[in-house]
Amino acid sequence: MDFQFTEEHLMIQQAARDFAQTELKPGVIERDEHQKFPTEQVRKLGELGFMGMMVDPKYNGAGMDVISYVLVMEELSKIDASTSVVVSVNNSLVCYGLEAYANEAQKQKYLKPLATGEKIGAFCLSEPEAGSDATSQHTTAEDMGDYYLLNGTKNWITNGSTASIYLVIAQTHPEKGSHGINALIVERGMEGFAIGPKENKLGIRGSDTHSLMFTDVKVPKENRIGADGFGFSFAMKTLEGGRIGIAAQALGIASGAFELAKQYAKERKTFGKPISEHQAIAFKLADMATEIEAARLLVLKAAWLKDQGLPYAQASSMAKLFASEVAMKTTVEAVQIHGGYGFVKEYHVERLMRDAKITQIYEGTSEIQKVVISREILR
């Protein structure tokens, strides 16, 4: 196997690393503290082509591969997971979903501005009573002939108030179960579409998470993605790729925490020598480095499989499951290595620990990933 990145991969990785240091790190603590959306940073990411990385250039995308996307996600997430989740949703869920399954008119109208970052997208699946159970959609899209009448509530929606384009999963034919679900493109400002208050979250506080309410929203039939009843398959196929992005985010959070812990351990002295020379700390660092490298290989394998057009559902779930657990474990250890300073915001590791937890929850909890993996291996 070839473990060498191409020159283009290395250039993209370095560009993301530089951006994270110069554009994201200044102000990241303040954005977290005040739940401030990184508006200017996202705009600049669009200019770099990072908001539509894998989209074909004919739709204004950068035309990069999934490995490039993973490298960018890791570098951004080392510094600011709130910004990286905006990039993840726009790339993995919204742009990918539209490019893979929308018709040409929909791509021209919606995908092009999303790929440049001119507009931001949101993926609307979760509901108050249907988070992990995507088949149990209480949001309804009643077929009225030329349009669907959309009613219901979606919650935990990333980019909830900053998006302009929303991909909404809703039930049209309850008697058909999962085969009666549709995916609709909803535009901000449609009559009857309301955005709830921002959630006050433990982590990724710079990203905006909201509930969305739909009351008799008229969605043109031309805004349906795919055939009637394709919505559940659309959601599941799109989430398979989304897990690669979240796995890369978890990897970045873990890697960022490890780098901070290693540096601190080399500088902090006790009993006349750096704490990194005490075996208790050195062994912690060794375990962290090993698990991060294992997570990185799982993430890159999933990305490579997708780039090759090979099945990647199992690989993406494995990567998401393992990388998110590594992120949580690594950030806790990073706080421990910092001691009392780890509890202080200016040292960054406490924020990374808070951000790490969400990677075990969104795009399907760890338990959901185990369902996917076991299903695949037992076929």
Catalytic residues: 363
Contacts with 288 (C-beta within 8 Å, 6 or more apart), sequence order: 254, 258, 261, 329, 330, 333, 334
C-alpha separations of 189 from 49, 144, 211, 214 in Å: 27, 20, 15, 11
* DSSP 3-state of 111: helix
Identity of residue 305: L
Token pair in block for residue 169: 């999963």
Distance (Å, rounded) from C-alpha 123 to C-alpha 235? 9
Partners of 121 in beta bridges: 165
Distance (Å, rounded) from C-alpha 225 to C-alpha 107? 11
Are the C-beta atoms of 188 and 204 separated by less than 8 Å?
no
Partners of 269 in beta bridges: 274
Q: Say what angle helices 279-307 and 231-267 make with each other, to 10 degrees.
A: 150
Partners of 143 in beta bridges: 148
Q: Tokens 């009559």: give the residue.
A: 191
Nearest to 207 by CA among 309, 316, 358, 311: 358
Contacts with 35 (C-beta within 8 Å, 6 or more apart), sequence order: 198, 200, 201, 205, 206, 208
* DSSP 3-state of 216: strand
Identity of residue 63: G
